[in-house]
Copies of this chain bind each other. A is one copy, B any other.
Amino acid sequence: MEQRVDPSPTLQDVAKEAGVSVATASRVLNGSSRTVGKDNVERVLRAAGKLGYAPNLSAQATARGSTKTVALVVSDIADPYFSTLAAGVLEGAEAAGLIVTMAVADRSAERECRIVATLRGYRPHVIIVAGSRLDGPRDALVEELRAYVAAGGRAAVISQPGLPFPTVAIDNAGAAKDLALALADEGYRRFAVIRGPAGLHTSRDRCDGFLAGLRQAGIEVCRVLDTEFTEDGGYAAASRLIAAGLDDVELLFAVTDAMAIGAMRAVRDAGLVPGHDIAVAGFDDIGPATDVSPALTTVRVPLHEMGKRAMDLALSGADPAEVQWMPTQPVLRTSTPTSTPDSVS
């Protein structure tokens, strides 16, 4: 059984079928400024329908010199943090009639840079990079992006203020500080924080901000645990903490919801009850944060909104130095009950 492949119909095919020139066919099929005769419109449309014509977007792109795509690079699409961001970007793109091509950098700065270089080959309308969770120098990335905008592209980044491109970000330190104050206000006094590698801005800012908040509340001592920036990292750190005895800690703050959820698992696995024997708080308010029980106290970050905003920012040709700060807000849930939990003796 032969598999016959007759290539996609081209504009020429449509034109011939309709008995008009390619020029007119092109004009009706993509709403040029020129007007076309009523009956010709009709005929072209019918021909296109009959042939199942779909314009070759690549050819269109080379002819026009511009595309209708946005390139999005994220660290890990399976992470709710990034998938929510991505959903926002997709929504914004949809609204603007753009389609998005996306690649994952797998939390490697080097891969991220290579990806941007590749994506740049598509001459996308805009490039958005959401890679706050990467480590290492961003010089290569900046250079790549700079070349892109020098050639007329629009770029935007998410969560990495300091880069010379329009940015949407949150005040990690401030938000963490607010959370600390809110928690202190609830009566908590003895804290431990779980954070990621020192090289990570996000982690550092949140940890520092939290500690600053505690200091402002008159709390000076606080245990700080270093670990991986993942759920398993949170599990490991919490396990360590528990093994060392947590007589002197009432509340465990992890710089990330994922880590906090890992920590909660460790607490449970140790036979303790999170929210009862020890309070837990996270940061990001990803979807699962409200599903775990006790529901996780955290700081709400408008992830979806941020993705959309990044699109708008890039599209609007914002000033490279513009940083759009998004509002955050501590949300206290049952993982940090109002009455100070009984310490386990």
Contact = CB atoms under 8 A, between A and B. Distances in A.
Nearest to A267: B293
Interface string A90-107: 100010000111111000
Number of copies: 2
Given A119-B99, A121-B56, A261-B291, A6 B90 contact: no
A265 B287 contact: no
A150 B58 contact: no
Contacts of A58: 57-59, 61-62, 67, 122-123
Given A5-B151, A101-B102, 11 more contacts: A4-B150, A6-B150, A7-B151, A8-B151, A8-B152, A77-B83, A77-B87, A78-B80, A80-B287, A90-B102, A264-B291
Contacts of A90: 77, 102-104
B83 A152 contact: no
Contacts of A199: none
A147 interface: yes
A56 B60 CA distance: 13
A118 interface: yes
Contacts of A6: 150-151
A54 interface: yes
Contacts of A102: 90, 100-102
Listed residue (A62, A65, A101, A265) with the most chain B CB atoms within 10 angstroms of its CB: A101
A197 interface: no
Nearest to A67: B58
A304 interface: yes
21 contacts: A5-B151, A5-B152, A7-B65, A7-B152, A54-B121, A55-B121, A58-B122, A59-B62, A60-B121, A69-B101, A77-B86, A77-B87, A78-B304, A87-B104, A90-B102, A90-B104, A100-B103, A265-B291, A268-B293, A288-B291, A291-B292
A245 interface: no
A84 interface: yes
A122 B57 contact: yes
Contacts of A5: 150-152
A331 interface: no
A120 interface: yes
A252 B288 CA distance: 21
Interface string A253-275: 00000000100110010000000
Contacts of A261: 291
A76 interface: yes
Interface in A43-58: 52, 54-58
Contacts of A8: 123, 151-152
